[in-house]
Amino acid sequence: MKALRFVLGLSLAATLLAAVLSPEAADDLVAPTQRHSGATEREADSPRASRVSMPDKAASVYVLAIRPRGADDDSPSAFGTVSRPPPVKPADAVVAVVTPEAAAALPQPPALPFRVLGRYVEAGEETVFLQHAEHNIAARVGDVLSEHYKVESVSAGVLTLIYLPLNQRQTLDLGETP
């Protein structure tokens, strides 16, 4: 612990000594602006000026000012430059027109794998009985069938399903309304 304090104290002393003995390093950052002799009227009237007395040798002091950065200064900015693309206006948006040939090239959902077995209406809610492979399914609005189809609506003898992987609607004819 004492060795650490000694090393820190030694490094502090070396830093202070280097700062005092190398004034040319400070010339890059500050430049003398004017020669100032004595205190100004405002300083003479302040309560602090009455407590601090300056010796006659220090009456002539250089006042230093920080040099502003010039345009030719090639040091990087602390925050860097930020360039953002201009915002896209709605008028600049591209409207895609799909031709029948292009629509045929888009991925299509497979044919519906369900077979209608019947329907049942109770309290205004319609249930459709479907067969998928060897399984019988009771489908209501909002149900997800075989992990890929969601029942969107049942109306006017048509069952509307959404094929979830492509988010496309498909319809299944239920036959005559009961």
Q: What per-residue confidence (pLDDT) applies to 51?
A: 47
35 lies in a domain? yes
96 lies in a domain? no
Which of 70, 69, 61 has the alpha carbon at shortest distance from 32? 61
48 lies in a domain? yes
Final residue belonging to a domain, choices 66, 86, 116: 66
Same-domain pairing of 114 and 168: yes
Query: For the chain, which ranges sit under pLDDT 70?
Result: 23-62, 69-82, 88-94, 177-178
Instruction: State how far the Cα of 164 lies from the Cα of 143, in Å rounded to an integer.
Output: 12
Could you tell me how far CA 173 lies from the centroid of its own chain? 48
Domain of residue 135 covers 107-173
CA angle 137/108/126 to nearest 5° reads: 30
Final residue belonging to a domain, choices 66, 92, 116: 66
Final residue belonging to a domain, choices 66, 99, 115: 66
86 lies in a domain? no
Q: What per-residue confidence (pLDDT) applies to 143?
A: 94
Contact of 128 with 143, CB cutoff 8 Å: no
Q: What per-residue confidence (pLDDT) applies to 106?
A: 81
73 lies in a domain? no
Same-domain pairing of 168 and 111: yes
Q: What per-residue confidence (pLDDT) applies to 98?
A: 75
Phi and psi of 86, rounded to 5°? -65, 150
| % of residues, the chain, pLDDT over 70 | 64
Report the predicted TM-score, pTM, of the whole model to 2 decimal places: 0.43
Same-domain pairing of 55 and 111: no
